[in-house]
Structure 1
């Protein structure tokens, strides 16, 4: 069994009020972003993802399960919202202490 690496991703929007005040082009990019992440989820590269409603400003989060740092960066660098310059991301290696299936 191949050992996989895990990374916590923080997707940071262009302003603290984002996504509440998205314009039409930003909304279209975020739709592409959501589809992109759902595809990676279906491929089992993304274990969990979604928005975090931080009062300081919402951000997106995801946990990737990939072979290495290069694969994780490749996934994030190809995200349509990152490619377009709308969002940026921070990526941190992590160790999974435990996980269980959700009812979602």
Structure 2
């Protein structure tokens, strides 16, 4: 069996309750670096999609391609907001079952 690309999802939540409504300058910088990292993954053809719920205590997700769990975990851990402690993250194997044509 050859090296196949699988999908993964990482789920993030703010490490500090209330952070999205009242971020410190350091948290703002980490959030900006997080966004730039996701854009970089998209440009490299790795990121499928990313976003967050629009609530006071949001939950974010990033769906991306990686061949195996060590690579997926390394990609998640390299997110500056995770590495910097802004977000707590969990990694899960994932598979898009149904999507609009632009996402397939």
> Would you say same fold, with TM above 0.5?
yes
Q: 1:1-104 alignment to 2 at 5 Å?
A: 3-54=4-55, 57-100=57-100, 101=102
The answer (yes or no) to whether the contact 1:47–1:64 under 8 Å persists in 2 is: yes
The answer (yes or no) to whether the contact 1:16–1:58 under 8 Å persists in 2 is: no
Secondary structure at 1:98 match in 2: coil
Task: Report how many residues are paired.
Answer: 101
Q: TM-score, normalised by structure 2?
A: 0.85
Name the Cα RMSD after superposition. 1.9
Separation in 2 of the partners of 1:19 and 1:47?
24
Separation in 2 of the partners of 1:83 and 1:51?
19
Q: Could you list the runs of 4 or more consecutive aligned residues of structure 1 that deviate by over 6 angstroms after TM superposition? A: none
Shift of residue 12 of structure 1? 1.4
Structure 1 spans left out of the alignment, 5+ residues = none
Structure 2 spans left out of the alignment, 5+ residues = none
Shift of residue 9 of structure 1? 1.2
